[in-house]
Amino acid sequence: MALLLTTPALGTVTISCSDEGSGLVSINYDASGESAKVRAFALDVSIDCDANFTAISNYFEGEGNGYGIFPGSIDLSDLNSTPVWGDPIAPSSDPGAAGTGLGTNRVILEMGSLYEPNLAGPSNTGTLCKLQLEGSGTCHVTIVAETTRGGVVLETGVTAEINVGAGCDVELGGGYPECWDYPGQCHGDATGDDRCDSYDWPAFRDAYYKNYWDHFPADPENPQPGEYNPCADYNRNGFVDSYDWPEFRDNYYTSVGGCAPGDPCGVYSPGSTKP
């Protein structure tokens, strides 16, 4: 309970997030302007896209120089054995947490410091944890103080004001470009007119030997010469190269169709891993 006792706000702590790639978002803190360390964090983290939080990692567990005591889930009932620390996500059964948690688009984080006097304690800046997202598209992550649990509290007992800025955007895999639903795209039709002809040639020519990872288009719906063009990636493997050429060559000036819609690779977003 000592973690939740507060007095009027005086300090300021910056909370931010960053896209780590592959759907991983880092939750960061900066209390470098404070003379006192942060004792506890209670944060409400949500996303606005077709995705869910599926895992949490990179947090400190147990006693030591990190944020590793979790008021919502620590179990000290058997003091003769190692405490069960749980994880920083408040259970959905807790007051005010219904409908949140892993498998949803919102989590409530509860984290605090616990260290011996001879230890330095947590750093005044660092990463609290990392959250894994699964879904598609671009997700905007919003972080606010969870005030019913005390928000962000300094070791002096002061409730700190938090600066969360604009949050952050996270690019997720799982989506794919519209042209991969063209019935003939995998057989050389980059324009969607069900034919492979001279109108499709510029897309292949301008993207030849360009790949998804190093030449991702600034505007994915309007690739420019020298950028990767997914519509000319007939085998949909992230490369426009000599393996795609036979589809264009052998189907030139014919009506084409029979391609399965969607993305066989399962990814279409910056930051995905090369095969």
Q: Read off the pLDDT of residues 117-171 as tens digits, 9 standing for 90 and up.
A: 788 889 999 999 999 888 777 889 999 999 999 999 999 889 998 999 889 998 8
Give per-residue pLDDT as tens, 28-63: 999 998 888 999 999 999 999 888 999 999 998 877
Which carries the bigger pLDDT value, residue 242 or residue 96? Answer: 242
Residue 273 located in a structural domain: no
Q: Is 78 exposed, middle or buried (0-12, 13-18, 19+ CB in 10 A)?
A: exposed
Closest CA to 10 of 45, 35, 40: 35
The answer on 144 and 44 residing in a single domain is: yes
The answer on 223 and 155 residing in a single domain is: no
The answer on 201 and 133 residing in a single domain is: no
Closest CA to 107 of 198, 17, 222: 17
Cα separations in angstroms, 238 against 1, 118, 257, 273: 53, 53, 21, 10
The answer on 193 and 129 residing in a single domain is: no
The answer on 190 and 133 residing in a single domain is: no
The answer on 149 and 61 residing in a single domain is: yes
**Mean pLDDT, to the nearest integer, of 267-274?**
52
CATH number where 126 lies: 2.60.40.680
Its domain, for residue 216, covers: 178-255
For the chain, the domain total comes to 2
The answer on 229 and 160 residing in a single domain is: no
Closest CA to 229 of 198, 253, 206: 206
DSSP state of 248: H
DSSP string for residues in 158-199: BEEEEE-TT-EEEEESS---GGGGSTTGGGT-SSSSSEESTT
Look up residue 149 and give its amino acid.
Answer: R
Record the tokens describing residue 217, joined without a space: 């288009």
Q: Does the global pTM surpass 0.75?
A: no
Look up residue 161 and give its amino acid.
Answer: E
Domain end, chosen from 146, 172, 198, is at 172
Quick check: 247 pLDDT over 50?
yes
